[in-house]
Amino acid sequence: MHSKYVTFLSAFCRTKLWLSVVLLIGSLLSYSAYAAQVVATVSSDEVGVNEIFELTISIDDNVSASALDLSPLKNDFIVGTTSTRSMNRFINGSVSRQTQWQVSLAAKAKGDFTIPAFRIGASASDPIQIHVGERTDATAPTTDLAIEVSGRMEKSRLYVGESQIYMVQIKLGEQLEKASLIAPQGEGLEVIQVGDDHQADTVLNGRRYTIINRKYRVTATKPGDITLQGAKLTGTAFKSNSRQRFGLRIPVNIQAEPMPLTVLAEPEGYQGLWLPTADLQLEQTWNQDESNMKVGEPVSRTLTLKMKGTPQSNLPDLSLTYPDSVRVYSEKPVYKQENDYSVMTLKQVIIPRQSGTITLPSLTVNWWNTDKGEKVTSQVDGKVLEVQPDSTAIIPGATRPSDEHSASASQTRGINPQENNENPAAVDHQAQGVSAWWPWLTLAATLLWLVTLLMWLRSKKQTPLSANPASPASTESDVTDKLIAAVKACQPMQVQTHYNAWDKSHLTTTHRQQLDQAVSAMMAAYYSESPQAWDKRDLLALLQHQQKSRKKAQTANGLEPLVPEIPAAERK
């Protein structure tokens, strides 16, 4: 009984073992039958150097796009664009899946090369042999790029502080993506882009190109032999053929030729501000050529400095020392660029404060001519003003003619009594002469009064037929109107001119001081070193108040009768 049991167990184990082996083999065969297949193909296995062809890799399953490793291709081929797509198909109730990669390639050199097997999961493709020789198709796209980058500069010999324009020209005959132009550079050089790019299309040898020009200003900061590294164009060019669906994105890294530069130091013994340039022009203009003027009349002086190949930051300050007899208002300098010249314009308003001969200073600028290698001096002359006193202006320390006349009359009156007291006989003789003529003078005055009275009575009975001629009051009113109009228009130069021509003799001392302060505040707001906004309301209110007061006074004076009427009570 026991032996039968052992025999049964032995037979059962052998049967179970064989069954397990059969099941394992069946499962392996099933996995092999249903495993995803990886297939690699090329558009052509005979290509030329730099000729673009297409590699297609597919697997019968949905996998990630990153499952394919293309790095083994980079040793012998230029790897371009890669496109990936996944597809699902339902045919007769069955489902099929596929993932496909399309890669653009170009061989780097001639010879026989192998595209290695690509493993995705448990499957791998077969390797492919590629023969690279001369170009087999002249119309096939290649990696040769129709792109040129060139740079040029007029001078290779500079002085420290001198600047030159570096011109970059790019010729593009390809589609370029993510393009970037890196500026030229070099040790001891300061490089700044100047202006905007200029772009134009042209045709060269039957091919269309886009021409791009860009300017850089290169300034030397230290002496020595320096190499200027040319501008560099980076980006990605897309090469394709209209007859084919694939293309190649080629990295672009093209640099212009380097340029050797020699930078010279400042010459020994040179004194003054160091201004190296190939050309410097100093000009000035005056708003009037006349040298004769009055106290308070403004004169404008405009100074213009032009320097070739010099950045605006290196232009010097134009400083002038004027005499204390004038007041100077300087506007903020205005900068601009004219071709290769940096231009600075400075406008000054000069107002004489005293009468007499005033000499305005000249301006001298020393600079170094880099073309000739010598020191040059540019100068503009000053101006001599003959300033006359203004009868309406209050000049400290000066005396008006009316005061001088009054003082002279007072002195005369003071001297005659002394002389008369010293000679009593002369006094008596003078008194007798006056007494002899007095009755006749009285009679003549009486007759003149009667004639005047008769003419006045006659004129009252007649109606005036003509208007009164223009009076000084009307002329003064015109000047006041022009002054107020200039204030409203915010024209400081016109305000100053009309204010100086305005008769201010009727003003009170307080009102005159208020107006002077308001006009000075206006000029300071416009022409001081730090110009500010000017509020015209204060000056306008003062002038309008004075105008109304003036009109009221003139109206009151015009209504007064020539001969006062006698009251009715006194007629009786």
89-113: pLDDT as tens digits: 777 767 778 898 988 888 888 899 9
pLDDT band at residue 433 using 50, 70 and 90 as cut-offs: very low
Both tokens of 476, joined, read 């003064």
> How many Cα atoms are found within 13 Å in the side-chain-facing hemisphere of 35?
14
Which stretch, 116-120, 206-210, 545-549, has highest mean pLDDT? 116-120
Name the amino acid, one letter, at 470: A
- Rounded Cα gap, residues 301 and 411, in angstroms: 46
**Under the phi-then-psi rule, with left for phi > 0, alpha for psi from -120 to 50, and beta for the rest, what region is 124?**
beta
From the list 127, 123, 154, 133, the residue with the least C-alpha distance to 36 is 123
41-50, 164-173, 517-526 — which is least confidently predicted? 517-526
Q: How far does the chain reach from its first CA to its final CA, in angstroms?
A: 188
Mean pLDDT in residue range 135-163? 79
Nearest to 47 by CA among 111, 127, 126: 111
> Which of 202-211, 257-266, 393-402, 451-460 has maximum average pLDDT?
257-266
Flag whether pLDDT at 291 surpasses 80.
yes
- Tokens read off for 167: 């011109």
* Lowest mean pLDDT segment, chosen from 4-13, 201-210, 264-273, 344-353: 4-13
Mean pLDDT for 166-184 is 90
Residue with the two structure tokens 């003139």: 554
Least confident of 224-228, 255-259, 297-301, 515-519: 515-519
Mean pLDDT for the chain overall: 77
Dihedral angle computed from the Cα positions of residues 21, 25, 31 and 34, in that order, rounded to the nearest 10 degrees:
-140
Q: What does the pLDDT average to over 164-189?
A: 90
Residue 426 has a pLDDT of: 38
> pLDDT value at position 460?
55
What pLDDT is attached to residue 195? Answer: 85
pLDDT band of 348, cuts 50, 70, 90: very high
Q: Give residue 41's pLDDT band: very low, low, confident or very high (50, 70, 90).
A: very high
Q: Which residue has the tokens 């009984």?
A: 1
Tokens matching residue 245: 């669906």
Q: Contact 276/162 with Cβ under 8 angstroms?
A: yes
Whether the per-residue pLDDT at 468 is higher than 80: the answer is no
Predicted local distance difference test score (pLDDT) of residue 11: 58
The pLDDT confidence band at residue 356, using thresholds 50, 70 and 90, is very high
C-alpha to C-alpha distances, 34 to 60, 96, 441, nearest whole angstrom: 10, 12, 153
Which residues face 234 on adjacent strands? 180, 253
Question: Which pLDDT value is given to residue 122?
Answer: 85
* Strand residue runs (E) in 121-275: 123-124, 128-133, 147-153, 157-159, 163-172, 175-182, 189-204, 207-220, 224-228, 232-240, 247-255, 259-264
Dihedral over Cα of 236, 239, 240, 246: its sign? negative
437: burial class by Cβ within 10 Å (0-12, 13-18, 19+)? Answer: exposed
Q: For the residues 330-357, what does the mean pLDDT come to? A: 91
398 or 77, higher pLDDT = 77
Provide the whole-model pTM.
Answer: 0.55
Of 413 and 55, the structure prediction assigns the larger pLDDT to 55
Q: Name the residue with tokens 């010729």.
A: 171
Q: Residue ranges of the alpha helices (H) in 349-471?
A: 401-422, 424-460
Residue 557 reports pLDDT greater than 60: no
Pairing label, strands 292-294, 383-388? parallel
Residue with tokens 């164009």: 233
Task: Identify the H or E element spanning 545.
Answer: helix 537-559
pLDDT, position 409: 35
Q: Which residues touch 385 (CB under 8 Å, ≥6 apart)? A: 291, 292, 293, 299, 352, 357, 358, 359, 360
pLDDT at 152 over 50: yes
Pairing of strands 280-286, 157-159: unpaired
CA separation for the pair 58, 56 (Å, rounded): 7
Query: Residue 517: pLDDT band by 50, 70, 90 thresholds?
Result: confident
pLDDT at 435: 46
For residue 227, give the 3-state DSSP assignment: strand
CA distance 320 to 350: 12
Query: Is pLDDT larger for residue 157 or for residue 481?
Result: 157
**Whether the Cβ atoms of residue 22 and residue 73 lie closer than 8 Å to each other:** no
Q: Which of 266, 359, 273 is nearest to 318 (CA)?
A: 273
Residue 308 has pLDDT above 70, yes or no: yes
More confident residue, 146 or 504: 146
Residue 425 has a pLDDT of: 38
d(CA 456, CA 476): 29
For tokens 């269309």, the residue is 208
pLDDT for 464 beyond 90: no
Q: Which residue has the tokens 């201004």?
A: 275
What's the CA angle centered on 482, arms 479 and 485, to 5 degrees?
Answer: 150
Residue 434 has pLDDT above 50, yes or no: no
Most confident stretch, 132-136, 376-380, 500-504, 543-547: 376-380
Cα torsion for 423, 424, 429, 431, to the nearest 10°?
A: 120
Cα dihedral sign, 50-232-261-196: positive
Query: How far is 126 from 116, CA to CA, in rounded Å?
Result: 7
Residue 63's pLDDT is 86
Angle at 464 between CA 463 and CA 468, to 5 degrees: 160
Torsion of CA 477, 481, 483, 486, to 10 degrees: -170
Q: Which residues contact 140 (CB under 8 A, 6 or more apart)?
A: 48, 51, 52, 241
